[in-house]
Amino acid sequence: MRANILALLPLAVLSSVGASTVFLKQDEYIGDDFYEHWQWETFDDPTHGRTNYVDQSAARQHNLSFANSQKFVMRADDVSVIPESARGRDSIRISSKASYDEALFVIDVTHMPTGCATWPAWWTVSAAGPWPSGGEIDIIEGVNLGTENLASLHTTAGCSMPHDRAQTGTTISTDCDAALNSNQGCGTLFTEPDSDTAEYEPAIAQAEDVAGSTSLSATTSSYSSSTTVSSTGSIASYQTYSAAEVETSPSSVFNWSTPYATDATASSSPSAYGMWSDPVSFAQGAVAAPEEAISDVSTATDAASFFSVGAGGELERRADASIPSFGAPFNAVGGGFYAMSKSRAGGINVWFWPRTSTSVPVEVRYGGAVAAPSVSWGTPAATFPTNDNCPYGDHFDAHRMVFDLTLCGDWAGNAWASSGCGKDAGTCEDFVNNNPQAFKDAFWEINSVRVYVPAPNSW
């Protein structure tokens, strides 16, 4: 953990921003700091997951966690078949040794756990307890194949939220009492339309929109002689950081040394539209989405031509794209940044920025010594006012941070069938026991967690 820097800041710095909104960086956790300054918890999962939380020694010994000077990774086991007599699949739950009352929490995360049966969360909870006394704040949370983050509060009785408030997300529930509605709490779903990382429909589908047919004439690529692809099968939707760059210079975006697609005449089993199957191979970034069936394509065409069709010769943005705040879409854009402020005067607010966003505040992206949430940060994705309907002093105190990765459990298990995972196994528990390979993406990759506290006299 990096040294406390409050005493190092000159008064001139503090006076350069509005006093009512100033936070000063107190603690920073990067790499090995998570081994030294966080507790590794091994008790039974309180949410009844098919999970075996292991200690730090076991996690490092079995490659469930590693760190360097820039990264910290923790994951679920993805190699073992689990006997029914076992407590569950090995996973990790850690909590910060330090606790914070009024504070601003900022995380830079590259990858979060995703996939059927997963239930990852980053949250804060009262260090004094017992739960739910002192409150719980879920900052990042979701299950299974979900793609929209849910931020929520869980409190003692007497805390509720207005349905309509200044946030970009959608109110899901308003009573924060953990004793009601099976501990649903009061939650906001991150449904904000994505204006920075636009999602585009496949260019071949645009061709059908424009021409009424997906039968295109074959063309010769000027970028590679081996980019002709099979004209049947399916293609994935994709996202790109810069439609213009893809449109004008596809060779700079694709790594042609990788055989994404092969000439239909040169292979008996060509990779159908494989150039969209691996977002890691996009120099500028892309996101693979659920595949869209294409059944009436009859003419082979090359990769370059896919980027020259569509209205006006440009890729068309999908109107239904939402901000990639959770799951596979979040990971495919390289993750992003979350911030949560917690104070008596300002209530509880949660912001999110994808890594690709041009709106990430400088102090958030680069870990500045001073952070001042303001209009420049934009409207929070979720806001929870602590006024007469939820007095701060009655429901919140000093919190410690928690990361966990539950498998199945009260939420992911109960949502198993409705979330699209039911086809993979009869029950969530059977899936966890018998499909270790399904958990290859069930890991956290964290660049940093930074905690800021209010500057003196800032409220």
Q: 31: pLDDT confidence band, cut at 50, 70 and 90?
A: very high
Of 240, 175, 222, nearest to 384 (Cα)?
Answer: 175
Tell me the CA distances in angstroms from 122 to 106, 138, 145, 338, one per residue in order.
11, 6, 17, 10
Contacts of residue 450, defined as CB under 8 A and 6 or more positions apart, other chains included, come to 25, 27, 28, 29, 105, 106, 107, 367
pLDDT reported for residue 21: 75
Tell me: the pLDDT tens digits for 328-375? Answer: 999 999 999 999 999 999 999 999 999 999 999 999 999 999 999 987
Residue 308 pLDDT exceeds 60: no
- Looking at residues 361-390, what average pLDDT do you find? 94
* The residue to which tokens 């910060």 are assigned: 96
Residue 373, SS3 per DSSP: coil
Instruction: Report the amino acid identity of residue 248.
Output: T
Residue 72 pLDDT exceeds 50: yes
The conformation of residue 346, written as its DSSP 8-state character, comes to T
Question: Lowest-confidence range among 174-188, 304-318, 323-337, 440-454?
Answer: 304-318
Residues 84 and 429: their CA atoms lie apart, in Å, by 9
Domains and CATH numbers, the chain: 6-194+329-454 (2.60.120.200), 199-313 (no CATH)
In the numeric block, which tokens belong to residue 43?
């008790």
Instruction: Name the burial class of residue 319, with classes exposed (0-12), middle (13-18) and buried (19+) by CB atoms within 10 angstroms of its CB.
Output: exposed
pLDDT reported for residue 2: 58
Radius of gyration of the chain (CA): 24
Tell me: the pLDDT tens digits for 249-290? Answer: 333 333 322 222 222 232 322 222 222 333 322 222 222 322
pLDDT reported for residue 320: 52
pLDDT reported for residue 447: 98
* The residue to which tokens 């390979």 are assigned: 437
Tell me: the pLDDT tens digits for 430-442? Answer: 999 999 999 999 9
Phi, psi angles (nearest 5°) of residue 234: -140, 155
Residues 446 and 49: their CA atoms lie apart, in Å, by 23
- Tell me which H or E stretch contains 251: helix 250-253
Best-predicted range by mean pLDDT among 13-17, 189-193, 447-451? Answer: 447-451
In the numeric block, which tokens belong to residue 361?
């505040």
In the numeric block, which tokens belong to residue 259?
């055989």
Residue 304 pLDDT exceeds 70: no
Residue pair 200/235 in contact by the 8 Å Cβ criterion: no
Residue 13 pLDDT exceeds 60: no
Q: What percent of the chain is modeled with pLDDT above 70?
A: 68
In the numeric block, which tokens belong to residue 241?
């950081």
- Looking at residues 65-84, what average pLDDT do you find? 97
pLDDT reported for residue 177: 98
DSSP 203-219: HHHHHHHHHS-------
Residue pair 30/69 in contact by the 8 Å Cβ criterion: yes
Q: What is the reported pTM?
A: 0.74
- Looking at residues 126-143, what average pLDDT do you find? 98
Degrees, nearest 5: CA angle 286-292-293: 140
Cα torsion angle, 235, 237, 243, 245, sign:
negative
DSSP 6-68: GGGS-HHHHTTS-GGG-EEEEEEE-TTHHHHSEEE--SPPTT-BSEEE--HHHHHHTTSEEE-
Residue 32 pLDDT exceeds 60: yes
In the numeric block, which tokens belong to residue 66?
């590693």
Residue pair 216/305 in contact by the 8 Å Cβ criterion: yes
Residues 212 and 142: their CA atoms lie apart, in Å, by 39
Residues 45 and 53: their CA atoms lie apart, in Å, by 8
**Long-range contacts, 430-437 (Cβ 8 Å, 24+):** 431/116, 431/117, 432/50, 432/82, 432/88, 432/89, 432/117, 432/407, 432/408, 433/50, 433/81, 433/82, 433/83, 433/84, 433/89, 434/81, 434/82, 436/77, 436/78, 436/79, 436/80, 436/81, 436/89, 437/78
- Looking at residues 26-52, what average pLDDT do you find? 98
